[in-house]
Chains A and B, each alone.
Chain A
Amino acid sequence: MESSLQVDVWRGGAQGAYRRYQVPRQDAQTVLDVVTWIQRRLDPTLAYRFACRVGMCGSCAMTVNGRARWSCRTHVAKVAQDNKLTIAPLAKLPIVRDLVTDMREFFDKWARAKGQFSPTATRHDDFARIAPASAARKEIDAAIECIGCGICYASCDVVAWNPAYLGPAALNRAWTLVNDSRDGDRAARLAAVAGDAGCHACHTQSTCTERCPKLLSPTASIAGLKRATARAVLKGDL
């Protein structure tokens, strides 16, 4: 391919602006390739994050042509319109510089949703035995592969409307722990996700599920938390 891409890249902080670059079009080119080419050949001051380049680490998410995507596994051929790309930092997070956002609030919300495992056993106990076919294990399997990229969070309208909302990723994490029979903090976790900022604030618009690059369904996890919190209330545990 010999054509060139017209790429508008967000530069600066919240008050920044788009700057236009011309980047050669290549076969099997990803959005991360484009950003890297700009930094290495055109403008070494461009700031962006990446680590693994293969969809494992969750650090390279950015807004590409208006949608949050993982840039390392987004092929230009899939998203470029008329050989044009607009690349911005993830929405709903403070911009540090250029394509780098401050993810602190995103991960602080994981902590607020009690996303930490609370062990009940010690090193002297035997291994916990969890049947792979058990219902709880299947729920965990369906939600556990989150890489913490923040795409669901940046795509969620409720996050914009309700800044305290814990968001799809943190609630998805809480759901995996609610189903974990080894965890000892279930009641506190359900209490943490049952408030105004928790699972019941979700409008079930499912944008998180549509955009998740790992094809998870935070919507299903949040629905699970809604049922679990309701049951806990009925049992008098919440």
Chain B
Amino acid sequence: MLWIAQRATAALLALCVAVHLATMIVAVRGGLTAAEILGRTRGSVGWAAFYGLFVLAVAVHAPIGLRTVAGEWLQWRGRGADACCAIIGVLLLALGWRAVAAVTV
């Protein structure tokens, strides 16, 4: 069922990336400083939820893709490859959520 997880997260990422890019462009063009941005994100449940979900989608989507790349390009399949990709997923989740916490908490 990995493929359906990858497709579902791909759909979510399409939305998240669009919102993220639009937000960045608005923030930069609006001339907001880092302090002003942090002022808006800290304590915001909405931004925390959005980026928390974004990171979760990345952490699910990327390792599944890497697993395919490992199999097709390196002919590396089986438990070792699966475990390595799962570790990458956990790392992405931990680092990503840590970053989200740093700007929203």
Contact = CB atoms under 8 A, between A and B. Distances in A.
Contacts of B7: 230
* Interface size, A (range): under 10
Interface residues of B, number: 8
A65 B93 CA distance: 49
A58 to B, nearest CB: 28
A201 B2 CA distance: 11
A28 B71 CA distance: 45
Nearest to A238: B1
A200 B3 contact: yes
B45 interface: no
Contacts of A158: 72
Nearest to B67: A196
A194 B2 CA distance: 10
A225 B27 CA distance: 43
B43 to A, nearest CB: 37
A231 to B, nearest CB: 11
B14 interface: no
A194 B3 contact: yes
8 contacts: A161-B71, A161-B72, A162-B72, A194-B3, A201-B68, A230-B4, A233-B1, A233-B4
Given A200-B3, A201-B68, 11 more contacts: A161-B71, A161-B72, A161-B73, A162-B71, A162-B72, A194-B3, A196-B71, A230-B4, A230-B7, A233-B1, A233-B4
